[in-house]
Amino acid sequence: MASRAGQISAALLGLAVAALTLGSAAMTAGHATDWSLGPADGAALRFTLLQAALSAAVSGALAIPLARALARRRFPGRSLLIRLLAAPFLLPVVVAVLGLLAVFGRAGPVNAALAAAGLPPLSIYGLHGVVIAHVFLNLPLVTRMLLQGWQAIPAERFRLAEALGMPPPSQFRHLEWPMLRSLLPGAFATVFLLCLTSFAVALTLGGGPKASTLELAIYQALRFDFDLGRAALLAAVQFGLCAAVTLATLRLTPGGVFGPGVDRAGGVSSPPGWRHGADALAIGLAVAFLLGPLLAVMLRGLPGLAGLPLTVWPALGRSVALSIASALLASTAALTLALAVTRGQSWLEIAAMLPLSASGLVMGTGLFLAVHPTISPESLALPVTLMVNATMALPYLFRLLLPEARALRADYGRLSESLGLTGVARLRLVTLPRLARPLGFGTGLAAALSMGDLGVIALFAGERTETLPLLVQRLMGAYRMEAAAAAALVLVAASFALFWAFDRWGAARAAT
């Protein structure tokens, strides 16, 4: 039996996350003098829902063939490629947008090729541009979630299917589809909620005020109009949507699917013939789509590297320390919550998903209001950023860990209990080895997300707390685009190195 202390600590953690997200919004609301939504807020809500739903659907639809191709093919450099493909998710938003524009923009190679072929130019600005950018940013995450699903199907199920003479379509129906059914709702919800709070991408690529999102309205309310009531109302709308989507996911996700296997590698077979070509095409297209803009980011950054201001290095040090600390905090919290959910404290699932719909700006403002009269905000800049970043990364980690934690509970729970394996021993011998892969990947993601985050630090930062994303923004704001591109390259390289280290740690420790 799970210890009482474990349940209580998980519940407290869930409450702390809810307090940070809902509480900060309530704090903002508490300072409001007026409560009303603007006339354009309805249109912003509609556009926000539309782009988020499209982005999530397209990301999911494209991730299935890509993850399947990666799961059933073995080729040199495969594991390197899988790690590299995660990179877009790690990019700071402004960098990602500029990278995409370098490829798809007016002066980019895609339009150059179209012009050479005598075709009309393609404009990336509009709803489709917003969706392209969100797919670019989120396809890697969904692909990794699904790839883990394929890896989690016990190899002997595929052996059995082959021994029964099942062709690939039947294998898909009996083995792969049930796995997808259990993972896709969660993946869809994650991307949907992530796109719900989109601001810079939607506005820059949306082509105008038609593409206004709720988050922009929050920004406007807080920064320009100082209308705390409207900001809090909009934040409440975002939280409501988040809770609804998470509850729907909960209902749509079936329970344990496969039962335990004997952990033999091999897994899904590699069908020959045209399917080989189709898989190669899926991987090739994904590489071009995901790595092209990344290459552009690198090429833009290289020329300015020599002329970087010296403040880059202390800012980098601060960012790295901050992101490692918040990644470790986030993974401990996510593991605690995911294990608690599998033990039946299912309300914690909503608590763990809440931060996805939290506006960083509202959270920052709420915390600012909470600490300001008593403590100087600058002296708290780094601890607050650490806490907020860990909270913001929690849902991804949680989403990655939960399916595996459920499988672990279904497959090994009874065995562990009959052996009397509890507490630290169970964590060390069963839980950590079985969950090492998603834990390593998730911690890596959390570290990288924290590296790229700008939201909260900008509100609290003083002279001596500048992080690298803030420096990139300051350089861009002072005409120094070349130095900004170089600093962004340093940022991306550091994010990726952190992600790589954690992901490798997880893969090396994984019990399978």
Q: Which string of x and - marks every residue 317-346 that binds another protein (by CB under 8 A)?
A: xx----------------------------
Rank residues 114 and 285 by Cβ distance to another protein and give the closer one.
114
Tell the smallest beta-carbon distance from residue 74 to another protein (Å): 39
- Residue by residue, what is the 3-state secondary structure of 328-392? HHHHHHHHHHHHHHHCCCCCHHHHHHHHHHCCHHHHHHHHHHHHCCCCCHHHHHHHHHHHHHHHH
- In degrees and rounded to multiples of 5, residue 233 shows phi and psi of -65, -45
304 binds another protein (CB under 8 A): no
What is the rounded distance in angstroms from the CA atom of residue 134 to the CA atom of residue 55? 6
Among residues 51, 143, 220, 357, which is the contact residue for another protein, using CB under 8 A? Answer: 220
- In degrees and rounded to multiples of 5, residue 300 shows phi and psi of -70, -35
Query: Contact at 8 Å (CB) between 37 and 371?
Result: no
Residue 192 Cα distances to 65, 196, 485, 493, angstroms? 20, 6, 29, 27
- Per CB under 8 A, the segment of 9-17, 235-243, 434-442, 455-463 that binds another protein is 455-463
Determine which helix (DSSP H) or strand (DSSP E) holds 101, and give its type and residue range: helix 93-104
What is the rounded distance in angstroms from the CA atom of residue 276 to the CA atom of residue 85? 20
401 binds another protein (CB under 8 A): no
46 binds another protein (CB under 8 A): no
274 binds another protein (CB under 8 A): no
Q: How many residues does the chain have?
A: 512
- Per CB under 8 A, the segment of 54-62, 195-203, 232-240, 394-402 that binds another protein is 195-203
Query: How many residues contact another protein, by CB under 8 A?
Result: 67
- Per CB under 8 A, the segment of 63-71, 155-163, 426-434, 463-471 that binds another protein is 463-471
192 binds another protein (CB under 8 A): no
226 binds another protein (CB under 8 A): yes
Rank residues 171 and 467 by Cβ distance to another protein and give the closer one.
467
What is the rounded distance in angstroms from the CA atom of residue 168 to the CA atom of residue 366? 53
Among residues 339, 435, 461, 494, which is the contact residue for another protein, using CB under 8 A? Answer: 461
Rank residues 400 and 457 by Cβ distance to another protein and give the closer one.
457
DSSP 62-79: HHHHHHHHHHH---TTHH
306 binds another protein (CB under 8 A): no
Rank residues 217 and 445 by Cβ distance to another protein and give the closer one.
217
459 binds another protein (CB under 8 A): yes
What is the rounded distance in angstroms from the CA atom of residue 98 to the CA atom of residue 87? 15
Q: Which two tokens stand for residue 391?
A: 């909270």
What is the rounded distance in angstroms from the CA atom of residue 137 to the CA atom of residue 191? 10
Amino acid letter for position 2: A
Rank residues 41 and 176 by Cβ distance to another protein and give the closer one.
41
User: Whose CA is closest to 406, among 504, 267, 510, 260?
Assistant: 260
Rank residues 43 and 278 by Cβ distance to another protein and give the closer one.
43
Q: Could you say which residues in the range 131-190 bind another protein, by CB under 8 A?
A: none
Tell the smallest beta-carbon distance from residue 376 to another protein (Å): 7
Q: Which string of x and - marks every residue 86-125 that binds another protein (by CB under 8 A)?
A: --------x--xx--xx--xxx---------------x-x
219 binds another protein (CB under 8 A): yes
* Contacts by 463-470, CB closer than 8 A, 24 or more apart: 463/378, 465/318, 465/378, 465/381, 465/382, 466/311, 466/314, 466/315, 466/318, 467/315, 467/318, 467/319, 467/322, 467/385, 468/312, 468/315, 468/316, 468/318, 468/319, 468/494, 469/92, 469/319, 470/315
Residue 148 Cα distances to 75, 151, 263, 400, angstroms? 18, 5, 14, 9
302 binds another protein (CB under 8 A): no
User: Token pair 């005598």 is at which residue?
Assistant: 118
Rank residues 209 and 344 by Cβ distance to another protein and give the closer one.
209
- Per CB under 8 A, the segment of 13-21, 38-46, 48-56, 390-398 that binds another protein is 38-46
User: Whose CA is closest to 396, among 141, 134, 40?
Assistant: 141
User: Whose CA is closest to 198, among 217, 181, 172?
Assistant: 217
Q: Which string of x and - marks every residue 7-26 that binds another protein (by CB under 8 A)?
A: --------------------
Tell the smallest beta-carbon distance from residue 163 to another protein (Å): 57
Among residues 1, 76, 116, 224, which is the contact residue for another protein, using CB under 8 A? Answer: 224
457 binds another protein (CB under 8 A): no
- Per CB under 8 A, the segment of 161-169, 262-270, 381-389, 396-404 that binds another protein is 381-389
Residues that bind another protein (CB under 8 A): 39-40, 43, 94, 97-98, 101-102, 105-107, 123, 125, 199-200, 203-210, 212, 216-217, 219-220, 222-224, 226, 309-311, 314, 317-318, 365, 368-369, 372-373, 376, 378-383, 458-459, 461-465, 470, 473-474, 476-481, 484
